A and B are shown apart, each in its own frame.
Chain A
Amino acid sequence: MIQIARHVVLLAAKDLRIEARGRQTVGLVIVLGILIIVVLGMGLGAGQPMSGFGASSILWVAYLFGGVLCFEKTMSVERHDDALSGLLLAPIDRSAIYASKLLTNLILMFSLALVVTPVAIILFRFDLSAHPLGFAFVMGAGMVGFAAVGTLFAAAVSSTRLQGGLLALLVFPLCLPVVVTSTQLMRMLFAEGGSLASGGVATLIAFDLMYLVASWLVFEQVLEP
């Protein structure tokens, strides 16, 4: 297990080093996220105060599209010059490749959230003061489930020519339970004055675990050199 963890860190560090050199993914994803927020702001009428429930719905749109771009870009690094085959030839547990990609995607998505969320707070005057930590926890947990499914399907479609469109088509419906659960939790927190000590959090974590375990188990089967 320690050996797998070492490989996960090694491969994620490699991905982040490549990203740091080009800054292609994080730059694109942040610009896309801000564009989505601005377009939604123009459509929905920015400037009027919005509750945490509304905030989570708008932010999810930015996170979903930004996330798909992250998944695609981090996997395309492995397809250039067939670097993936180099990894598949190594005597490592192939689930380490999945875990490293998931870790990289989560780091990139959290970077996106760190930039896009404050922009949305300013633009929409989101009022998160009632439960700022609850908001962060629910959105973070939602992202884990989304990234778990997205990382798996990015590997599956990376060898096809359809890529972007196909990935979004596959991942969006599958991560719907996570998105719906997190927005319902937000409604409970901000609109109904409830707390996180409810069944909703357990449901969200259960979805995360289910997606993580299923993706971990299936990942090796979807990898094609």
Chain B
Amino acid sequence: MTLALSSIEVPVASCVCATAAVSVRGLGKTIDDRDILDDLTFEVPEGSFVALLGANGAGKSSLLKILATLIPPSRGELQLFGAAVRSDATALRSRIGLIGHAPMLYRDLSALENLILFGRLYGVADPRQRAEQLLDYVELSHRASDSIKTFSRGMVQRAAIARALMHDPDLLLADEPFSGLDAPSANALERLLKRLHDEGRTIILANHDLSQSLAIAQRAIVLRRGRLVMDAPVGDLTQAEILAEVSAT
């Protein structure tokens, strides 16, 4: 199945609604004898848009890194699309895209060279064509041949989004993607995330801006000191209730 979006034909994974994109059971992470995450249990159905909320140090970034298979959990079980990460991590990585704090791009290569490189690593059939389409998608076609180090923060972030989408992931993890962006860039990114969700992707977004998160997500998961304290559809919650959970000591 494909959805036409802008000038790109974006393939969309056929929905198997019974399968959870993310399934977490008793997950925990301990670093230097400190529990960063503890006893997390939740599921994210395919095609959902989840806002991951919490104060600084709540464990949002660590959780996203674990979901992206960048770091292993210390305990518990993690399944992505029904497969255990512990035994199948390499294959699952082709279904995950991560937009992190850092762009994860080579600053001395051009945007196009970066995207082609990652496309080849992911086994994309025609990486150049895909890279050009995505640069058009994130409105960077005019700077395709310029090295990343010449880009503004907003442009780097858009290039990072293109990198994360290069292999057309089914699960998109975004860790504070709005930080450092000016208002027009933040609005453009918000629209882009909505569009990606409409195309059928599962999105988990960690974000400090509560009202922005509630405006675009369907469900909120709140972490406090590494523990899950709230997991509910956005419509069932008020901003004050979530804020109380986020800031409770």
Identify B105's interface contact among A17, A81, A93, CB under 8 A.
Answer: A81
* Secondary structure class of chain A's binding surface, majority of residues: helix
Kindly list chain B residues whose C-beta atoms are within 8 Å of the C-beta of A81: 102-107, 148, 156
Kindly list chain B residues whose C-beta atoms are within 8 Å of the C-beta of A89: 68-70, 93, 96, 98, 104
A90–B65 CA distance with the chains assembled, in angstroms: 13
Q: Mark A69-94, 1 if CB is under 8 A from B, else 0.
A: 00000000100111101111111110
B249, CB-defined interface residue at 8 Å? no
A1–B21 CA distance with the chains assembled, in angstroms: 30
In chain B between 13 and 64, which residues have their CB closer than 8 angstroms to a CB of chain A?
none
Identify A82's interface contact among B68, B71, B102, CB under 8 A.
Answer: B102
Task: Known A10-B120, A18-B109, A21-B108; judge A85-B102 contact (CB<8 A).
Answer: yes
Determine if A225 and B65 form an interchain contact, defined as CB atoms under 8 angstroms apart.
yes
A22, CB-defined interface residue at 8 Å? yes
A42 to chain B, nearest CB (A): 37
A7, CB-defined interface residue at 8 Å? yes
Kindly list chain A residues whose C-beta atoms are within 8 Å of the C-beta of B163: 86
B121, CB-defined interface residue at 8 Å? yes
B100, CB-defined interface residue at 8 Å? yes
Determine if A14 and B65 form an interchain contact, defined as CB atoms under 8 angstroms apart.
no
Sample 30 A-B pairs with CB under 8 A, ordered by A number.
A7-B121, A10-B117, A14-B106, A17-B109, A77-B106, A77-B108, A80-B106, A80-B107, A81-B102, A81-B103, A81-B105, A81-B148, A82-B102, A82-B104, A83-B104, A83-B105, A85-B102, A85-B104, A86-B104, A89-B68, A89-B104, A90-B118, A90-B121, A91-B90, A91-B93, A91-B94, A92-B90, A93-B90, A225-B65, A225-B70
Kindly list chain B residues whose C-beta atoms are within 8 Å of the C-beta of A14: 106, 109, 117
B81, CB-defined interface residue at 8 Å? no
Kindly list chain A residues whose C-beta atoms are within 8 Å of the C-beta of B125: none
Task: Known A14-B117, A89-B70, A90-B118; judge A83-B90 contact (CB<8 A).
Answer: no
Chain B interface size, as a band, is 20 to 34
A-B contact count (CB 8 A): 71
A87 to chain B, nearest CB (A): 7
In chain A between 88 and 131, which residues have their CB closer than 8 angstroms to a CB of chain B?
88-93
B122, CB-defined interface residue at 8 Å? yes
A22–B65 CA distance with the chains assembled, in angstroms: 32
B183 to chain A, nearest CB (A): 24
Kindly list chain A residues whose C-beta atoms are within 8 Å of the C-beta of B65: 225
In chain B between 76 and 120, which residues have their CB closer than 8 angstroms to a CB of chain A?
90-94, 96, 98, 100-109, 113, 117-118, 120
Kindly list 14 other residue pairs between chains A and B, CB separation below 8 angstroms, not including A87-B121, A89-B69, A91-B90: A7-B121, A18-B106, A21-B108, A77-B106, A81-B102, A81-B148, A81-B156, A82-B103, A83-B106, A89-B70, A89-B93, A91-B121, A93-B90, A225-B65
Whose C-beta in chain B lies nearest to the C-beta of A77?
A: B106
In chain A between 5 and 35, which residues have their CB closer than 8 angstroms to a CB of chain B?
7, 10, 14, 17-18, 21-22
Kindly list chain B residues whose C-beta atoms are within 8 Å of the C-beta of A22: 108
Kindly list chain B residues whose C-beta atoms are within 8 Å of the C-beta of A225: 65, 70-71
Kindly list chain A residues whose C-beta atoms are within 8 Å of the C-beta of B156: 81
